[in-house]
Structure 1
C-alpha cells in the first residue's frame, strides 16, 4: 500500500488547492490524530490516517457489555469554546455536532471523615455563596480568585495555548511584558500555595487544588498559573455531550472523512522513514504483512516517548531516552467500569472522594518512594443519570478512576475480577470506599458488569510512557514553552500532536495541538487561534 508523493509546494507557503497539495500520514486515531488529519485535509493535503486498533478514539474510546456502554477515558467536557472553534475551522459548529447538556451541580465532593458532601454549582454566584457558607469571608476571596483565574485563562488562550513558540515575539508582546512580575509569580508559585493564601478550610482548599489532577500533576508542583482551571468549572460550568465522548470522536472522524481523509484501521506503525534528514513515510504491519507508505509529511499522534524512542533511529531523535530520565510522568490509574443494578442517587454525574491527608496522597503518587495511596482520592462518573443510552433502564453506568503511580508493574486489568491481583485488590478496596463514604452499603452486591484497566494496560494499549494515563505532568519545566515541541528538530516534515507535546494534557489541548501543526506548515508564528473556517 502506498500513498502519492507530490512536491509541488513547500510546507510554509500557506496555500491551499491543487498547487499546494502534499501527501501526509498521520499516526494514531486518537482525538489528536483525527483532528490533525481533518485539518490537514481541509488545508488541501492528501491525508491517510493509520490506526493500530480496530476502533478510533485512543484513550477516548468506548466499551460495551450487556447493555452498558462506557466511555473508557475522558469524561469532563471543559473549555467548550475550544471545541466550537475546532468545529468552526471545519465549517461546522459544536451545536451542529453535539447535544450538550449543562450539569448542575457541576460535581459533588465527599470528604474523608465528613458526613455531608459539598455540591459545586454550575455557576459562579452560587459557588460564591457556597464558599461563604463553609467559611465566612471565603465568598469574597473566591470572587477575587475567580477573577484572577478568568484573567489568566484569557491571557493563556490569547498568548500561550495556540502558539508553537517557534517565535517568542508574538507571544511576549507589550501586554504580556507589562505583566511580567505577575506572570513570574504565577509560574514559580505552586497552586497549593496560592490556594492556601486564598482560603483556610481544608475542604475548600481541596476543591481549588483538585484541577491539578486534570493536568496530570500535583497542586504542590503545578504552577499557580493553572488556577485558571477554576474559571472553567466554577464560572463557565461543566457540560456533557449526550452519548458520551464516543459521540465527540465519531463527529471528528466523520468530518475528517468528509474532508477526504483515508482512515486505515489495523495498521500498526513500526517505523518512520527518514531520508536525507526528512521524513518520507512509515513502515507498518497490517494483516500480518509489512507495508511501506511514502508521504511528504508525517504527523505522529502516538505517545511522544514511543514515537521518539521506538519509531525513529537514535540519530534522528529530538527527545532521546536521556530526555525522559529526568522528565516527570503524570499519574497512571486503575480504572473501573461498573454496571450497577438499580439507581444511585447518592452519586452525581461527577463525584469526587478526597482523602483527608491530601499532601500525603500526592506524595504517594509523585514522591521519591511511590506507592498506592491508602485511602486514595478518587473520581467517579455516573453518566446514566442524564444519558439513558449508556445503561439498561433502571441501572447505572459507573466509571471510577483511581490515581496511582506511573508504574506498569502494578499490573493489568480484565473483566469479572480476572485482572492482576494488585489491580483487582485496588478495585475491591475502592468499591468499599465508595460504598462507605457515599452511603451505598449494598453497592458491591449490585454490580453485574465489572471490568478493570491497569497501568500495564496503558503501556500495552497506548504505548504510554511508564504507563501514565495522561502524559508528562504539567510541572513548571514541562509547561508552556518548556514542554516538548510539536516539530522534530532533527527530522524535517515530522510533527507531533497529542497530550505529550504542546500545549498539553486534555481533549481541548489535543485539538489545539492539531491546529498547531497547521500553523507550523503555514509558518504562522502568531499567538492566537486561526481564523474560522480554515
Structure 2
C-alpha cells in the first residue's frame, strides 16, 4: 500500500512538515540516515552528560515577533517547555563584552557605549528596522516562505503600511553593507555587523542580502532566544511523537539513494537496503547538492539544473568541540551563548561561538560540571587524509579551539573532564551536510531568496523544505519552509492549510531558569514520570550492547519514552513485549551497568508499555 507522503530527511524541517501533514490525517513515512531524528537539532550523551549536536540557540518560540516554532506547536496541539535565555548572547569584540538584550532600547545603549560617535545613528537604524519589522512581519503573521506567500494577505499588509513595504522590498537585491552605509560612517562598526551577519547567516555584510539582515538584526531582540527544557532532544522528539500518534512511520538508519520516477514524475524512493517505497507526494528536506547530485537521476532533469545546483557556494565547513569542564572554571557572569571574536578584520578560524546551556539547564550534566559546545569555521583540508593524519588534524583543532576558549575562560584547559571534536567529515557523516557546511548554501547576494530551491519543484509530486530553500539558514526559517511545504501539499490535496489564528490555544510554556531535574516531566502522572525518568537514563548508545544482534530497538524505545511518546515506543516494543527472558538479558548488557553499577530498568519500561498498550486496546505492531 502506498503512503500519501514520503519525507526524505528527519531533520527539523522534515519532521515539522511530516508532523503537520500527519496531524491533517495523511499517511506519512519519514526516512532518515541517522538512528536519532533531528539532524543538527539532535543530542548525544557521554557518561551521562548531554550534548547538543549543533542547533541549540533557538529562536521563534517567543510570544512576540516571528515565532514559527510556537505556531507549529500550537497547530500540533503538542505541549513543550522552553527556557528563555536571559539575554540573546554576548559578543566579545575588541575588548568589549556587548550584551544582546531582548530589550532593544537597552541594547542600543550598550552598543552606543562601544561606538559613541555612532550613538544617534545606532538608535535611528534600529528604530527604523524595528518599525519595518513590526509592519511587515508581526502585525499580520504569515508563516509562509516568500515563494508561497498568500497574495491576499500580502496585499492587505501592503495597503496598511505601503511605505514600510516599499522600503522592505527595496532591500531585496541590496547588500547589508549598502543598507548600513545609509546610517553609519565608522569603519569599525561595519566590522561589528560583519560578525553579526556571519553568525546569523554565515556571510559578511557585503555578501548578506539587506532584506534578510534587516529582519535578523531586529527579530532576535523582539522574540528572544530559547532552549528546550531538558535538552534539544525534546524538539525533534515531540515532532516525532505527533507523527507516530497520528499513524505515521519513522524509518531510521536507512538512506534514500534514489528518487524513483514514472512517466517523468517522482513516485517513490529507493533505500540503501534495496527497498522501494511509493507515495503520491514526496517532501525532500536535504541539501540541494544531494538532490541534484545523487537522488534525481540525471536523465530526469537537465544539465543546466545540475550545474546550477553544484555551483551554489556553500557556507564554511564547521568544526565543533564538545567538552565537559569543571564548573568552577566558568565565571558567574558568563552568558549561555558567547560569540568570541578573535580577528575583527575578517571571518576566520578565530571566530568561535560557545554554547553553555548548562548554566540555565541543570539537567544536562552533574552539579559540579558544565557542558560546552564550541563551533566555528574550519579552513583546513579534511579530504584525502590517512587515518593517522586525520586524527592528528582533529587533535590540532581540539588544541586550537581550547586555546580560543582559554582566552575567555583562563585555566579551562586544566579543567577539562572530557573533550572530543566533530570535524566537517563527522558532520557530513551524521547529517549528510555536504563538506560539513552546517548551513547549506550561503545566503548571499546572487543565490538568495528566489534563486534557491523553491518549495515547489519542477514536478508537482516533489516538494522541498530546509536550509537550501528560499528561507535559508536558521531554525525558524527551516521551520517556516516546512510549514510552507506542508501547506502546499495540503492545498494540492484539497485539505485545510495551517494558518495563523489569533485565538489559538497556546502550547508553548516558558519555564524559569535554572531548570532542574526535579522539574522534568511536569504535567505527567506519577507512574508516567517514574518510567520517563528511568528511560532518560539511557545513553542512546551509537552501538548499543543491550540489543546487539537483535532487531529490537531498545535505544529508540527509551528515547521515545523519555519525551512522552508512548505510542511510538509501544510500536517498537510490542513485538518483544512477551519475551521476558530476552528483555532481562538485554538489561544485563546495558552500558549503565559498567558506568553507574545499575542498568536502565528495561524490563520495567517494557512491562509498563505492555500494560499501557493493553489498557488502551493497542494492538502489537505486526
- Which range, TM-score by smaller chain? 0.7 to 0.9
Select 2:383's aligned residue among 397, 400, 409. Answer: 409
Select 1:227's aligned residue among 178, 190, 214. Answer: 214
Equivalent pair of 1:309/1:317 in contact (CA under 8 Å): no
C-alpha distance in structure 2 between counterparts of 1:502 and 1:430, whole Å: 33
Correspondence 1:316 to 2:273:
no
Cα deviation digits, residues 499-525 of structure 1 (max 9, x gap): 111322111112211211233224489
Seen in structure 2, the aligned counterparts of structure 1 residues 325 and 411 have a Cα distance that, compared at 3 Å, is same
Aligned to 2:88: 106
Aligned to 2:475: 507
Deviation at 1:205, TM superposition (A): 4.3
C-alpha distance in structure 1 between counterparts of 2:363 and 2:327, whole Å: 16
Equivalent pair of 2:173/2:210 in contact (CA under 8 Å): yes
Deviation at 1:166, TM superposition (A): 5.8
Equivalent pair of 2:175/2:445 in contact (CA under 8 Å): no
Q: Secondary structure, in 3 states, of the residue corresponding to 1:336?
A: strand
C-alpha distance in structure 2 between counterparts of 1:136 and 1:49, whole Å: 53
Q: Secondary structure, in 3 states, of the residue corresponding to 1:150?
A: helix
Aligned to 1:97: 80
C-alpha distance in structure 2 between counterparts of 1:77 and 1:252, whole Å: 15
C-alpha distance in structure 2 between counterparts of 1:103 and 1:467, whole Å: 28
Correspondence 1:143 to 2:123:
yes
Aligned to 2:601: none
Seen in structure 2, the aligned counterparts of structure 1 residues 471 and 179 have a Cα distance that, compared at 3 Å, is same
Aligned to 2:485: 517
Q: Secondary structure, in 3 states, of the residue corresponding to 1:64?
A: strand
Correspondence 1:190 to 2:144:
no
Aligned to 2:16: 35
C-alpha distance in structure 2 between counterparts of 1:168 and 1:41, whole Å: 23
Seen in structure 2, the aligned counterparts of structure 1 residues 234 and 514 have a Cα distance that, compared at 3 Å, is closer
Q: Secondary structure, in 3 states, of the residue corresponding to 1:24?
A: strand
Deviation at 1:178, TM superposition (A): 6.0
Aligned to 1:65: 46
Q: Secondary structure, in 3 states, of the residue corresponding to 2:275?
A: strand
Correspondence 1:448 to 2:448:
no
What are the residue-to-residue correspondences of 1:478-497 with 2, within 5 Å?
478-489=447-458, 491-497=459-465
Task: Point out the structure with max Rg over C-alpha.
Answer: 2
- The 10-residue stretch of structure 1 (169-178 or 514-523) with the greater mean CA deviation from structure 2: 169-178
Aligned to 2:241: 254
Aligned to 2:103: 123
Cα deviation digits, residues 284-311 of structure 1 (max 9, x gap): 13xxx42111211111222222122211
Equivalent pair of 1:106/1:350 in contact (CA under 8 Å): yes
Select 1:498's aligned residue among 456, 462, 466. Answer: 466
Seen in structure 2, the aligned counterparts of structure 1 residues 90 and 105 have a Cα distance that, compared at 3 Å, is closer
Select 2:342's aligned residue among 330, 355, 358. Answer: 355
Name the Cα RMSD after superposition: 3.1
C-alpha distance in structure 1 between counterparts of 2:33 and 2:13, whole Å: 15
C-alpha distance in structure 1 between counterparts of 2:221 and 2:195, whole Å: 12
Deviation at 1:184, TM superposition (A): 5.3
Q: Secondary structure, in 3 states, of the residue corresponding to 2:418?
A: strand
Select 1:388's aligned residue among 345, 362, 369. Answer: 362
C-alpha distance in structure 1 between counterparts of 2:59 and 2:51, whole Å: 19
Select 2:32's aligned residue among 37, 51, 54. Answer: 51
Deviation at 1:89, TM superposition (A): 1.7
What are the residue-to-residue correspondences of 1:164-179 with 2, within 5 Å?
165=147, 173=155, 175=159
Gaps of 5+ in 2: 62-66, 506-622
Correspondence 1:337 to 2:322:
yes
Bigger RCO of structures 1 and 2 (CA < 8 A, at least 6 apart): 1
Seen in structure 2, the aligned counterparts of structure 1 residues 412 and 394 have a Cα distance that, compared at 3 Å, is farther
Equivalent pair of 2:398/2:420 in contact (CA under 8 Å): no
TM-score between the two structures when normalised by the length of structure 2 = 0.71
- The 10-residue stretch of structure 1 (469-478 or 453-462) with the greater mean CA deviation from structure 2: 453-462
Equivalent pair of 1:25/1:298 in contact (CA under 8 Å): yes
Deviation at 1:36, TM superposition (A): 1.1
Equivalent pair of 2:143/2:500 in contact (CA under 8 Å): no
C-alpha distance in structure 2 between counterparts of 1:169 and 1:441, whole Å: 55
Seen in structure 2, the aligned counterparts of structure 1 residues 410 and 145 have a Cα distance that, compared at 3 Å, is farther
Seen in structure 2, the aligned counterparts of structure 1 residues 331 and 426 have a Cα distance that, compared at 3 Å, is same
Aligned to 1:367: none
C-alpha distance in structure 1 between counterparts of 2:386 and 2:37, whole Å: 21
Select 1:431's aligned residue among 399, 402, 409. Answer: 402
Equivalent pair of 1:410/1:423 in contact (CA under 8 Å): no
Q: Secondary structure, in 3 states, of the residue corresponding to 1:476?
A: coil
Correspondence 1:278 to 2:260:
no
Aligned to 2:231: 244
Equivalent pair of 2:34/2:431 in contact (CA under 8 Å): no
Seen in structure 2, the aligned counterparts of structure 1 residues 482 and 152 have a Cα distance that, compared at 3 Å, is farther
Aligned to 2:598: none
Aligned to 2:431: 462
Correspondence 1:379 to 2:379:
no
Aligned to 2:600: none
Equivalent pair of 1:411/1:457 in contact (CA under 8 Å): no
Deviation at 1:270, TM superposition (A): 1.4
C-alpha distance in structure 2 between counterparts of 1:248 and 1:168, whole Å: 28
Equivalent pair of 2:456/2:463 in contact (CA under 8 Å): yes
